[in-house]
Amino acid sequence: MARAIKFGTDGWRAIIAQDFTFDNVEIVTKAVAAYIKTKYDPSKPVVVGYDPRFLADKFAQRAAETLSNLGLNVMVVDRDAPTPVVAYAAKFYNTAGALMLTASHNPPEWCGIKYIPDYAGPATTDITDVIVSNVQRLQAGDNTFIKPSATKGTIEKFDPKPEYFKWVNNLIDFDMIKKNIKCKVYYDALFSTGRGYLNTLLEDAGIETITLNNERDPLFGGAMPEPKEKFLGKLKELVVKQGPAIGFSTDGDADRFGVIDEKGNFITPNEVIAVLFRHMAKNKGKKGSVVKTVATSQMIDKIAKIYGNVKVHETPVGFKWVGQIMRQEDVLVGGEESGGLSIIKHIPEKDGIVANLAILEAVAYENKPLYEIIEDLKKETDCQYLNYRLDLRLTEETKNAAMKMFVESAPSAVGGMKVSRENQLDGVKLYFEDNNSWMLIRPSGTEPLLRIYFETDTQGKMDKLVEDTKKIVNNVEAKV
C-alpha cells in the first residue's frame, strides 16, 4: 500500500525511488493542477523548475507533461535553476504559479516538489490544505475532480536568468559595490544551482570572483548542499590564505545563504539578518517593519529600538509566515535563523543570492570590513548573543510526552535562571529574567525529534541551559 504523501512547512520531500517516484510526482502535480484550475485563468502558463538533484530534470518533465495533459500551458526552465529565480519568473511572466522540484539543503538521496503561487512566495496554509486534500482524494482512487483535457497545453523551455538579473541589478546598489569593494570574493556553489547566478552577477559588477565547486553534481561532492560552517572549510581557508577576500555560499536550490568574513569567521544567519536590517535602516534610509520567526535572535528587537522603534513581527517557523507579512506591508528584512531571508521590494521568498549580494552592498556602504561591522553591531546592541540548537532523537511517545509537559506545566526555572514569561506561537518559548536569554521547544513534524533552540549572552549560561534541559527531558523519558 502506498504511503501518504505528507507536506511539511514547504512542500513534500521524500527519498528518491522509495517514496519520491514518478507516479507520486504525477499525483502531486494533478493535485496542484486541480487547485490552479479553480483559481486562475486557464490560459495562464505554469512555470516548472528543478534543482541539480538526480532525476530532478526528468521529474520536472513528467510534471510538465502531466500539466499539459490537463490542458495547462507550461514553461520549463532550460537548466536547473534556483528556487528564488523560479519564484520571480512565476510573478514576472504573469503565470498561474510554479512547480519547483527541489529538496533544498537535504541530502542527495532526497527530492521534493512544492507549489509557488503567482505572488512569488511560499504557498500559505489555505492553499496547501486544498492541495493536500486533493492528493488524499487521488491516493484514495478518486479522479473525478481532475480529468485529462481534450486539447493539450503547450510546453516550452525558457531561460529565467535575464529577467531575474535585470531585477536584481535594480534591487542591489552595484554602483556602490563597484566603487568601494576592493577585495576578492570566493563563492562556494556547493555543486548546486546557484552556479552561474551569484558568480556571474559579481563578475558583471567587476568584482574579482573565484568560484568553487562550480559544476553540477547530484551527489554534491559527497557532502551536504547546505552552507553551514562545517561544510565551508575550504571556503574559510581560501578567504584567510588568499585574502583580502570575503566568502559566500548558497544551498542546493540557492534560497539559503552562507557568509564568511575577511578573517575567516562564519557569520551566523542571525548576524546576517541583523546586519542587513541595520543596513537598510541606517545606510539606505528605508522605512517599514521587520519580520523574524520565533527561533530567530532577539538582537533584531534591539536594533528595531535603536533605529526608530521599527515594528517587529514574530511568526511561527517557516518562511511562508514571513512571506505572508511581506506581501501585506513594507518589510526591511524578513528572515529566519535557518539561513533564509528576503529584503524590502524583493519577492516574498527566501533568496540566498540576494542575501549575499546585500551583505556585499552593506560592506560597500560602510566602507569597512564585515568583521568590523559585526563588532559595531555588538557594541550598539550592548550584547554578544550566542545561539545553539539541540536536536533530541526520541521515541514518538517520549517526544509527545515532553512536548505536553512544556505546554501544560513548563519549568519555572532552567539552568539556574527563572522563567519570566512564555509564548506558544509555535511550540513553547521560555524567556528568562536576565532579558538576554530564551529557549524554544518545538517537535519535528516529520521525525521523532525534539528541536530545542537556545539564545543567551555567555557560554556559561548556555552550558547550564543545555545541560539542565537534557535532564528535564530525561526525567520525562524515565516516566514514559
Q: What are the extents of the domains in the chain?
A: 7-159, 180-381, 386-479
With 0.85 as the threshold, say if the pTM is over it.
Answer: yes
**pLDDT above 80 (res 4):** no
| Whether the predicted pLDDT of 465 surpasses 80 | yes
pLDDT number for residue 3: 67
Mean pLDDT of 395-423: 95
* 382 has a pLDDT exceeding 70: yes
Q: Do 7-159 and 180-381 agree at the fold level?
A: yes
pLDDT at 254: 98
pLDDT at 2: 55
At 12-50, the pLDDT tens digits run 999 999 999 999 999 999 999 999 999 999 999 999 999
| pLDDT of residue 446 exceeding 80 | no
Tell me which CATH homologous superfamily contains domain 386-479.
Answer: Alpha-D-phosphohexomutase, C-terminal domain (3.30.310.50)
In the chain, % of residues over pLDDT 90: 93
In the predicted structure, residue 411 carries a pLDDT above the cut 50 = yes
Report the mean per-residue pLDDT for the chain: 95
- Tens of pLDDT along 230-278? 999 999 999 999 989 999 999 999 999 999 999 999 999 999 999 999 9
Does residue 211 surpass a pLDDT of 80? yes
Top-tier CATH class for 7-159: alpha beta
- Per-residue pLDDT, 9: 67
pLDDT of residue 210: 97
pLDDT tens figures, 68-87? 999 999 999 999 999 999 99
**pLDDT of 420 strictly over 80:** yes
* pLDDT at res. 445: 67
The stretch 54-60 carries a mean pLDDT of: 98
User: Can you tell me the mean pLDDT for 391-409?
Assistant: 93
Produce one character per residue of 249-278: b if its CB has 16 or more CB atoms within 10 Å, e if not.
bbbbbbbbbbbbbbebbbbbbbbbbbbbbb
Which residue from 447, 381, 463, 461 is spatially nearest to 417, judged by alpha carbons?
461
Per-residue pLDDT band for 1 (boundaries 50, 70, 90) equals: very low
Q: What are 79-110's pLDDT values in tens digits?
A: 999 999 999 999 999 999 999 999 999 999 99
Task: Tell me what pLDDT residue 11 has.
Answer: 85
| The architecture CATH gives domain 180-381 | 3-Layer(aba) Sandwich (3.40)
